[in-house]
Amino acid sequence: MKRVVSVSLGSSRRNHQATAEFGGEMFSIERIGTDGDKQKAIDMIRELDGTVDAFGLGGTDLYIFAGDKRYTFRESVEIAAAAKKTPIVDGSGLKNTLERRVVQYLQNQAGICFQDKPVLVVCAVDRFGLAEALVKAGSKAVFGDLLFGLGLPIPIRSLAGLARLAQVIAPVVTKLPIRMFYPTGKKQTENKPLFSSYFHQAEIVAGDFHFIRRYMPADMKGKWIITNTVTAEDEQFLAGRGVSTLVTTTPDLGGRSFGTNVLEGVLVTLAGKPPQKLTVDDYEKILDDIGLVPRIKQLA
């Protein structure tokens, strides 16, 4: 059996283990949170290095993309460097393929019309492929990178504006400690509503679940959420806020959807190639081969 382990800076309350078949191979998939402890994450990766088939890096990213530019997080590189033998991925390669396909799937298979639909993407530099797909589908998108990443009351309303922002702030933000702009550890289970009007105006809220969960208002009646990394407890939380429909870009495995870093670990294992040699076409082919589709769940 293949084994993929996601080491996350997130809360250990969200730990989970499951087995599943992908591409004719059985996989043991495990997510282990370190409650924001970077050194603990490094030690764990060193201990498991060479004994598992792939690592996922959760609770942070190695890279963010804006247009054709890629920016690297210094703190994440320190963690990933602990893996000397086993490939380690953060899900960014898969986000650029899988999450584009989700919008196409919702249009073509679920009959969802995005034209002129108000959408809030809580952090788009982390999910540029999803942001581009939503704009291409005709939605009226607001990107909340400055709102929720830096706490500034400045919505971004175009991909060009997002790319310009990324070129300015990414070289700086990627040098800072991750905890300064992203919920890690216990913060992942706290809810502190922020800039609620942008949630109220949107019919669909998309992007990183920890941003959504932390900053969403009490009333989310009738809204759709497009995200992943959602546990059964999270689903109850969303239903209690009135969310009507949950779409996860990764499948339900043993009662929760894992992050894209986990699924990218599976794809890298199936491909048998180093992650840096995998192309968009490689990802597309494997996704077609394993027949992965989004999960759509009615909550209310």
Residue pLDDT, tens place only, 236-281: 999 999 999 999 998 888 888 889 999 999 999 999 989 989 998 9
User: How far from 237 is each of 111, 212, 224, 233, 266, CA to CA, in Å?
Assistant: 27, 12, 14, 6, 29
Per-position b or e across 173-198, b if 16+ CB within 10 A of its CB: bbeeebbebbbbbebbbeeeebbeeb
pLDDT of residue 266: 95
Q: How far apart are CA 236 and CA 262, in angstroms?
A: 23
pLDDT tens digits, 117-151? 999 999 998 888 899 999 999 999 999 999 998 89
pLDDT tens digits, 185-227? 778 888 999 999 999 999 999 999 999 999 999 999 999 999 9
Model pTM?
0.90
